[in-house]
Amino acid sequence: MDSIYNSIDKDFENGVNNRVQTCFVFESDGYLNISHAKAVCINFETAKNYNGFCNLRIDDTKFSLESNKFVDAAMDDIKWLGYSWDNVIYTSSYFDFIYECAIKLIKNGKAYVCDLSADEIREYRGTLTEPGKNSPYRDRSVEENLDLFARITAGEFADSERTVRAKIDMASPNINMRDPVIYRISRNSNHQTHNKKFVCPTYDFVRSISDAREGVTYSLCSLEFENHRPLYDWFIKEIGFEEPPRQIAFARLNLNYSITAKSKCRYMVQKGIVDGWDDPRMLTLSGMRRRGYPAAAVRDFINRIGVSKADSVVDYGLLEACVRDNLNENAPRAMAVLRPLKVIIDNYPEGQSEAIKVKVNPFKPELGNRTVHFSREIFVERDDFMVEPPKKYFRLYPGNEVRLKSAYLVTCNSWENDENGEITCLHCTYDPAS
């Protein structure tokens, strides 16, 4: 987090900002996963470090995939991680304002209605080594563009028949600046507004405007948005916000041996490969909760990997190590015998037993004790006995003395076999003074 804090500190010193307001943005089309956890921690911890604010914004611009169940699950996951937000805001609550911003761009000659299909737009855009070429509809008059935009939003045209594009630079080395689409026709229903208009703004367009409208001072985003920063700044400048947010990018969390892409997770859920988004085998936060991962271990993992701009892959073993460290310190202890082997303590009185106090957690004495019972007949794991042990074998074998957990020292003297040669019982003696 130091790199982000250093940037903010320099801004404060130079008088660029005097407050910190962040916003964690997520799409309401799936569950949050371990990669989202990094963005959650960075946004909320940064706001907390500067006594600032962090809002929760639900990006609901994918009308066909959205559901309130995803919103509820994300809120539960963020609370589970240990964070609380200042405000909950839906991007759709800004739709009217965003629409007015598009009108402003059209009136200023900075946007136009384009009749090219998606394939044609892609063809006109050019490549990384070749510039794009202007749309034949790029020079429509302001009046014509306003009329077409009004007819589009009234539902006069079919989906994909027309788009609204920003007028920037088709020769820009950054492809994102080559007249990007800012509005598409959509007849799907938004789960919040239920569609007042037959259009849907694109994510790049709503992200910049929503941040500025909301008063976000620092837009903390993962590295894949780095190439979109010039477009983000262009929208802010052309619409005329006086206090533009500053973007700070960090490398997203890539975890090996894992699947986190929403499209792939959705496929597994829909095909019944997993039981749901919260299946314990999934790396969604809800799935990790069901698996028994402590929230503190996830936060520790995010803290250990740190924040940098170098794109890298983190080993899954580090996440598991954080979970083990946390459970070792905090989890209550219990024991179970999975493959039982009977042990008879020959010199222990028959018909008697005694209660032995065992610490629930040796690192947390305040959790108290639990009771286990010691008697003439007990059970141990089959793997805890060998007739002919290898070197450095410290468990039970003939003539060896070992201590039973929280109980006595016992010595194995003999054993019994069944007709198949399987060991069925051990005969031991205990040391009453131990």
Active site residues: 27, 252, 262
Q: How far apart are CA 366 and CA 314, in angstroms?
A: 36
Phi, psi of 40 (to 5 degrees): -60, -50
What's the length of the chain? 434
In the chain, what is the greatest distance between 2 CA atoms, to the nearest angstrom? 103
Phi, psi of 148 (to 5 degrees): -65, -40
Structure tokens at 150: 């009004």
Residues 43-46: contacts with CB within 8 Å, 24+ apart?
43/220, 44/83, 44/85, 45/1, 46/1, 46/4, 46/5, 46/8, 46/20, 46/22, 46/218, 46/220
- Cβ neighbours of residue 262 under 8 Å, at least 6 residues apart? 27, 29, 30
Any bridge partners for residue 53, and if so which? Answer: 21
Structure tokens at 199: 């259009």
Structure tokens at 235: 């929208």
CA-CA-CA-CA torsion sign (113, 116, 119, 122): negative
